[in-house]
Structure 1
Amino acid sequence: MAVSMKNVDVAFHGVGQKPGMDIWRIENFKPVPLPKEAYGKFYSGDSYIVLRTTALKSGGFHYDIHFWLGKDTSQDEAGTAAIKTVELDAALGGRAVQYRETHEHETDLFLSYFKPCIIPLEGGVASGFKKVEAEKVEPRLFIVKGRRAVRVSQVPFARSSLNHDDVFVLDTQSTIFQFNGETSSIQERGKALEVVQYIKDTYHDGKCEVIIIDDGTLGSEADTGQFWVLFGGFAPLTKKAAVADDAPALAKPKLSCIIEGSFKEVETSKDMLDSSKCYMLDCGTELYIWAGRNTSLDARKSAVSTVEGLITGQKRPKHTQITRIIEGFETLEFRSYFDKWSFNGQHPVSEEGRGKVAGTALLKQQGLNTKGILKGSPIKEELPPLPNLSGKIEVWRVIGGVKKEVAAEDVGKFYDCSCYIVLYTYQGEERKEEYLLCNWIGRHASPEDKASSLKIIKDVNSGLKGRAVEAIIFQGKEPIQFLALFKCMCIMKEHPAAGHKENPIMLVRVRAVGPHIVLAVQVEPLSASLNSSDCFLLQTNSKLYAWSGNLSSAESQKSVLRVAEVLKPGVIARPVKESLEPPIFWSSLGGKRKYSSHREPKDGPKDPRLYTCSLSQGNLKVTEVHNFTQDDLLTDEVMIVDCNNAIYEWVGQNSSVEEKENALDIAKKYVERVARLDGRLPDIPVFIFTEGNEPTFFTSFFSWDPSKVNVNGDAYARKLAGIQGRRAPPEKPQKRLTPSSSVGAKDTSTQRAAAMAALSSQLTSEGKLSKAAQTIINQNSASAPGSPKFHRPSTANSQRAAAMAALSFMLGTKSTTASTVSVDADWVAGSLPFTKVEATGDTESTTSSKSEDGGDEGEEITEFFSYDRLKSTSTDPAPKINIKRKEAYLSPEDFEKLFGMSRTQFYEMPKWKQDQRKRNLQLF
């Protein structure tokens, strides 16, 4: 379709050349650009066109066009907005996705542009009404919906509008009230607070009182009364009536061809879509207009008018969603309505076509001036944040369903007929151990080994209490996070059949994939396997050649010699440059044949997209979260970040048990979905991890704030305190404490109250201290003559520890920062790991106790053993010991020599540090 810019409104000339937003308002049937300061302010009597331009990693731009129709806009203005949107798309080369937006029924994508919300103003340009008058005092009641994209709708100011399920905001002259329905979610309450802040800043200049009314709880009598008096007094609320959808989704979408203002139904099949025609896909609540690439601008305008007429003629809801797309730029949602969507061996144009090459060709085809329209340049691919590479790596090979440890000298060598388990343990940013648990699947691995390897990583992660980041990796699709663990990874061929004679000629492709990261892959020993962009190792019967292609990088040329040392230690590789090969080189490869000079394309990363995923009766439901932030990771959901060449699945702590158990199935079904709808191969690497164990290469997709808490309402409480101008409440302790965490950060009165509540367990019926309590006090008083500092117990708070803290207060002990001695029972048990003190008359006796994980810590230690007998690799292990606390069987001299500290100092350390020291000494 050739489009002349003469047929495009002059307001659209030259738009879309840089990322950002452009907004026009329809005035006198013409699009008029809005000033930037007016963005986000919509009037109910007007119609608007919104263009969102996004720069892509491919170097081009992606365009989304929305035309927004106020509830009081005229039919003529609405029609003009729809037609002008088609012209705007033509000015952009005919490749934008277009959305019809209606007042209070906007799409999540549209709402995500205007955070925290949009609250359209009354009136419009025709009436000259520009802003809400300051002296207006009539209360406005809004219902706030949405856990992410916030939808604010004004409802009648009446008690009957309130219910127990939703959140409401009441705006009055001097006070803003937020009414939290009893069964409303904490996420909706938090989003409503953002709406309250918006109203406070926009309509009250930031100066007004904010009062929260929690339905079903007893709040301030004055605040509650102030709220209900505005409704004529308190009265019980009625239950929310169930509201049926105005137009339920069709059981099966219907596809119709648009011919001269009428519809002719055809089979819902991609093969029925003709490039010279326009079609409508009727999904009930949503309509799609598909325009063939060879249709004219007039035909596209006519199709839009015809579908708009359908809504009126069939009396469908005015807010029926309409999405218009051009052939080759179909969205995943559109494709999902078709049973099959073949790509004929080509990747869909929807992403790559928005890049420079496809975009420029399309614009030239349409007769448009392409100069400057695609100024975006490809972003240089950057490596994602990698794990700390000074950790410990363990590798097992799965053979016959059994894992066998790989010798240290063979770590990094993989065979394509097997599966491997790789466990990498490293120090994370929060000074704690983190785990990357990978399952590498060889191209020719047996189905039995594949199934066994999946079971093995599940068992290994269970042993790590589910803290590991699990990765499923297929041969040929190794992500950089995996390759970086080995520095040099070699993938070799191995024939599984017994007695098979290996070919003495070996050809290995060598490629530098990152700074000091090398991937070597054995290929068929044929000249056709060569590529001028790479380096190769060729082993003949008598020599080893390091061949460098003319287009290969300097880093790859250095790497090929490194790989030679790994595969053939002690053998000197002879460097050979392309076009200077000796005759034996070609004869070893079966003769010189034509080979490629272009490296095969790979699936590079694309702009990350976030989706919520849930399983219902085995079916996967996927919903995209647009313009996402860290706050969109909701703790009761399973979410996926899709970067095209890798998928990251985040499992919230409060997601359902079924979703947690089927996390891998959710990932598999998602991969199947994108393979079917997006033309990708199903061997995409997948990373799976739980909330609280996010790796840095995942958090880099967000402006990550480790202190943010999405659970237990902490974020809501802090946000509320900020709006009301109060000091934020103290944060609840994180699940994973750093060594600097101490009770000093906790409110003393709270600590004392908790301790006094537990004190009764240590008092006799006469109100005196029990002998056990007195024993602990005396013991710590003798060992700590100074003023002690109270530390948070290393294990869960025990009643006895709280009692001891209370006793110290009763005896007049005050905390200071001078000493580091703890007086709680947990510390005493930690410093003497196999004993606990009990009162038996006036003496102490030593008995066995339970460790924090429930295991029996054994009897009193009466015999020490040498380090050689206690370490895990001992050939003569010590008998009948508690293997979880091997270090306790060392003599004091051996302990200090090995650990470089006393037992007391060791048990004062955080548990993760204790475990790390023990693991390094093979005592774990």
Structure 2
Amino acid sequence: MSTSAKNLDPVFQGAGQRVGTEIWRIENFQPAPWPKTEHRKFYSGDSYIILQTTTGKGGSYLYDIHYWIGKDTSQDEAGTAAIKAIELDAALGGRAVQHRELQGHESDMFLSYFKPCIIHLDGGVASGFKKFEEEKFENRLYVCRGKRVVRMKQLPFARSSLNHDDVFILDTESKIYQFNGANSNIQERAKSLEVVQYLKENYHERKCEVAIIDDGKLVAESDSGEFWVLFGGFAPIGKKLASEEDIVLEKAARKLYSITDGQLKLVEGTLFKAMLENNKCYLLDCGGEIHVWVGRVTQLEDRKVACKAAEELIHKENRPKATRINQVTQGCETNSFKYNFHSWPLGTGTGNTAGEEGRGKVAALLKQQGVGVKGSTKNASVNEELPPLLDGGGKVEVWRVNGSAKTPVPTAEIGKFYAGDCYIVLYTYHSVDKKEEYLLACWIGKESIQDEQIMAAQLSDTMWTSMKGRPVQGRVFQGNEPPQFIGLFQPMVILKGGLSTGYKKSLADKSMNDDTYTSDGVALIHVSGTSVHNNKAVQVDAIATSLNSFDCFLLQSGNSLFIWHGNSSNIEQHQWALKIGEFLKSGATLKHVKEGTESSAFWFALGGKQSSSNKKVTSDIIRDPHLYTFTLNHTLLQVAEVFNFSQDDLLTEDMLILDTHAEVFIWIGQSAETKDKHMAFDIGQKYVDLAVRLEGLASHVPLYKVTEGNEPCFFTSYFSWDSAKAVAHGNSFEKKLALLFGATFSERQAIDKSNNGNQSGPTQRASALAALSSAFNPSNSKPKSTKLVRSAQGSQRAAAIAALSSVLTAEQKKAMSESSASKTSSPYSTAAVLVETFQRGTQCSEIGDLIEVQLKRKK
């Protein structure tokens, strides 16, 4: 049944017309725009629709739609969010990937839109909630989990909420405390600091103090006493208790179902792409993740039924709430979907060409169905974006691999590369800050033998190690040279044949003729470059059909050298051709030939006259980078994308993969595992093999190994790079601490660490007792600052009373059971009673009342 544009909600009019995040909240079963100022806040009683718009190849828009379900939202509202998400997809041309997000189980992709965190709030539109800022400030305790995106959950403000395995943030009116469990992850500590900074800037007007409390330290930090007073005193904390958030979604045997009228029918056999019919919907069950695939000619109502079928499967089989549901449209499949199929043929184009074509077909079909498609394509030309080139004027050294050794290439010959050989290139230059930098790369010719390819890698590794790992190390393959590599040579020429003994021997073994370039034979050189980044010239077959009207060619015939200008070539190409001619045959007489004016001698050298090609060869330069974490189990590489990545995601304990489609980088943090560092290129090649199958990545894409602190400009250009972050020392937590809160804070931490190492100074228990005593007997303490005095006399005393009123239950009951005479004659002052109570570590719930009784007696 055809679906009319009238059936689509008008609130989505104009959606997806700009890059960024748009949110709608379900109110009275209708989507209502959610203000930009509220984007980070999600109420547990509500459901939301989130649209993330990004730009893809060619300037077209790419969409991800998430529908977020609060833990207290009604089933009807949750269903409305799912249905409206499908309608929004239809309004966008059926090109979006849809994701179901449950409170507390949000995906990394979803959380990345709201870095450093999202804030879960109680209530919702139906309960008449108050705005977060309007509420009276209350101490809030959060647990923070996640190495790259923080999952922040509010917990009851009680010592029993703490444990040794997580990172906690206690947000009070005058100070924010970060409590690092003794067993917590260093990277989680670092990411939690970003949350602390966010809270300070947005809810405290940057005026509050920040304190770091490290669990398990024998010697206390200067702020630990105040921290423990808020929890009723120092006492041992319990173990982490299992919760729904800790459930690990397990993979199961993949099952493919076709969906007809909401009913699932199992599709038997090995999974192939050809099984998916474009007029049907399918459900791919992977256990912890369910994919709904919709054919591009399916009706809108069929898509809604398919989504409902996935929800019913989870409910029927009592699956964990965290089970993910993703919906993709034919032609717009994600890698996580395609990976489950035995065979997934790729289109002939590079990058995401197949996906772009699929999106166009879907949009056209939806228009035929009467669905109004908004912003289906952003017609923009592809601009050739190039990475920064390395600083010119450096020193270039080149060695040709010959057997098990490397032979220096004479200076006059640097720039000539033979397809049968392998080379090692070392470029030494100075960066902007005068620091000496290096690029160490081995170039692999297409016709080189495998033994010399392996030897080139080994010799390059030896040089890299001898230089203490400072160089950026790369592997560059003939035909895929990146701009910054080509730019080192003025000019760069790739010639046929080879000079190494290994290559010569391989030809003899195969009884093949040696066609290695010589300066007195016949050779045709194709010149297509116009600038320093693409000035590569390549020797081609010396026949007339190799000529192209858009480029220039050098024809060498004995002592004669012709420069042939195609009718559509430009002056820059003419100049490069002249430079290359001088480089190859210095002092030779150059004969300029324009297409159509060739002499008989010219055609004779090419074996006879034939028509040249008028088809322009274009290079597809794509700048759509993706950052990945990875795990390597035996030989199986599994990758997970770091969405909306930034420099902050380069954590020193990790190794990461940056794929720009034109190049692949393996970034190695200083504190990464040593055994993993040595496998960098093996890991990189495994990733390339995977991306070739799923993304159509070139199999011989340039591959680099980059170490932390030695990132080149053509790597840092993919980040908003801050050099101060790059030179910070320590683990990821210590680096973040210094960057966010300054050297003074770090110096204090260093003193605390030194004290801990010397086993001198007060313990955390003693520090808590001292702070408690100070809170109730301010005249006996001598604070270091006026600010601290006010805190001790006012907020700390009140906070201590409030916190203590909910702890130590057993102690009060015991006290109430004693005789009144015994109580009256007690020699203890209020503070002394509390100190003794904390020393015993016992608990009492109404200690606040006990305090008030003691104060009245004193009066």
How far apart, in 2, do the equivalents of 1:260 and 1:418 lie?
A: 62
Specify the alignment match of 1:92 in structure 2. Answer: 92
Does 1:653 pair with 2:670? yes
| Cα pair distance change 1:264/1:174, threshold 3 Å | same
Does 1:484 pair with 2:487? yes
| Cα pair distance change 1:156/1:316, threshold 3 Å | farther
1:24·1:34 contact (CA, 8 Å) conserved in 2? yes
2:253·2:287 contact (CA, 8 Å) conserved in 1? no
Superposition deviation, residue 672 in structure 1 = 0.8
**Alignment partner of 1:514: what SS?**
coil
**Alignment partner of 1:645: what SS?**
coil
Superposition deviation, residue 614 in structure 1 = 3.4
Unmatched runs of 5 consecutive residues or more in structure 2: 499-503, 755-859
Matching residue's letter, 1:711: G
Does 1:717 pair with 2:734? no
How far apart, in 2, do the equivalents of 1:508 and 1:732 lie?
A: 64
Matching residue's letter, 2:150: V
Superposition deviation, residue 200 in structure 1 = 4.0
Superposition deviation, residue 3 in structure 1 = 5.8
Specify the alignment match of 1:375 in structure 2. Answer: 378
1:60·1:354 contact (CA, 8 Å) conserved in 2? no
Q: TM-score, normalised by structure 2?
A: 0.80
2:95·2:363 contact (CA, 8 Å) conserved in 1? no
Aligned equivalent of 1:535, options 552, 562, 568: 552
How far apart, in 2, do the equivalents of 1:732 and 1:648 lie?
A: 35
1:279·1:290 contact (CA, 8 Å) conserved in 2? yes
| Cα pair distance change 1:124/1:324, threshold 3 Å | same
Q: How does 1:208-227 map to 2 (within 5 A)?
A: 208-218=208-218, 223-227=223-227
Specify the alignment match of 2:263 in structure 1. Answer: 262
**Alignment partner of 2:58: what SS?**
coil
2:565·2:593 contact (CA, 8 Å) conserved in 1? yes
Aligned equivalent of 1:327, options 322, 330, 341: 330
Aligned equivalent of 2:644, options 592, 609, 627: 627
How far apart, in 1, do the equivalents of 2:695 and 2:37 lie?
A: 39
How far apart, in 2, do the equivalents of 1:95 and 1:501 lie?
A: 51
Matching residue's letter, 2:90: A
Unmatched runs of 5 consecutive residues or more in structure 1: 734-746, 751-924
How far apart, in 2, do the equivalents of 1:517 and 1:180 lie?
A: 52
Q: How does 1:59-78 map to 2 (within 5 A)?
A: 59-78=59-78
Specify the alignment match of 1:423 in structure 2. Answer: 426
Superposition deviation, residue 210 in structure 1 = 3.9
Greater Cα shift, 31-40 or 486-495: 31-40
**Alignment partner of 2:641: what SS?**
strand
How far apart, in 2, do the equivalents of 1:575 and 1:533 lie?
A: 16
1:276·1:292 contact (CA, 8 Å) conserved in 2? yes
Superposition deviation, residue 325 in structure 1 = 0.9
Specify the alignment match of 1:308 in structure 2. Answer: 311
Specify the alignment match of 1:695 in structure 2. Answer: 712
Greater Cα shift, 703-712 or 398-407: 703-712
1:25·1:32 contact (CA, 8 Å) conserved in 2? yes
2:347·2:353 contact (CA, 8 Å) conserved in 1? no
Matching residue's letter, 1:458: D
**Alignment partner of 2:645: what SS?**
coil
Specify the alignment match of 2:838 in structure 1. Answer: none
| Cα pair distance change 1:464/1:246, threshold 3 Å | closer
Aligned equivalent of 2:568, options 548, 551, 566: 551
Does 1:287 pair with 2:306? no
Matching residue's letter, 1:469: V
2:665·2:703 contact (CA, 8 Å) conserved in 1? yes
**Alignment partner of 1:240: what SS?**
coil
1:360·1:374 contact (CA, 8 Å) conserved in 2? no
**Alignment partner of 2:199: what SS?**
helix
| Cα pair distance change 1:606/1:365, threshold 3 Å | farther
Specify the alignment match of 1:406 in structure 2. Answer: 409
Specify the alignment match of 2:684 in structure 1. Answer: 667
Does 1:639 pair with 2:640? no
Does 1:681 pair with 2:698? yes
The CA RMSD over aligned residues, in Å, is 3.0
Matching residue's letter, 1:86: I
| Cα pair distance change 1:356/1:379, threshold 3 Å | farther
- The structure in which a higher percent of residues are helix is 2
How far apart, in 2, do the equivalents of 1:607 and 1:362 lie?
A: 28
Larger relative contact order (Cα-Cα within 8 Å, sequence gap ≥ 6):
2
1:163·1:239 contact (CA, 8 Å) conserved in 2? yes
Specify the alignment match of 1:252 in structure 2. Answer: 253
How far apart, in 2, do the equivalents of 1:403 and 1:178 lie?
A: 55
**Alignment partner of 1:58: what SS?**
helix
| Cα pair distance change 1:120/1:732, threshold 3 Å | closer
1:328·1:350 contact (CA, 8 Å) conserved in 2? no
Q: How does 1:898-913 map to 2 (within 5 A)?
A: none
How far apart, in 1, do the equivalents of 2:543 and 2:2 lie?
A: 49
How far apart, in 1, do the equivalents of 2:677 and 2:636 lie?
A: 16
Superposition deviation, residue 2 in structure 1 = 7.5
Specify the alignment match of 1:342 in structure 2. Answer: 345
Specify the alignment match of 2:238 in structure 1. Answer: 238
**Alignment partner of 1:422: what SS?**
strand
Report % sequence identity.
Answer: 50
How far apart, in 1, do the equivalents of 2:2 and 2:626 lie?
A: 33
Greater Cα shift, 422-431 or 298-307: 422-431
Superposition deviation, residue 583 in structure 1 = 4.3
Aligned length: 733
**Alignment partner of 2:337: what SS?**
helix
Superposition deviation, residue 372 in structure 1 = 5.6
| Cα pair distance change 1:133/1:613, threshold 3 Å | closer
Does 1:522 pair with 2:539? yes
How far apart, in 2, do the equivalents of 1:299 and 1:459 lie?
A: 60
Q: Deviations over 1:380-399 (max 9, x none)?
A: 22321111221111111112
2:120·2:153 contact (CA, 8 Å) conserved in 1? no
Q: Deviations over 1:533-561 (max 9, x none)?
A: 22111234564322222333331122112
1:421·1:440 contact (CA, 8 Å) conserved in 2? yes
How far apart, in 2, do the equivalents of 1:507 and 1:398 lie?
A: 26
Superposition deviation, residue 222 in structure 1 = 8.2
How far apart, in 1, do the equivalents of 2:515 and 2:144 lie?
A: 72
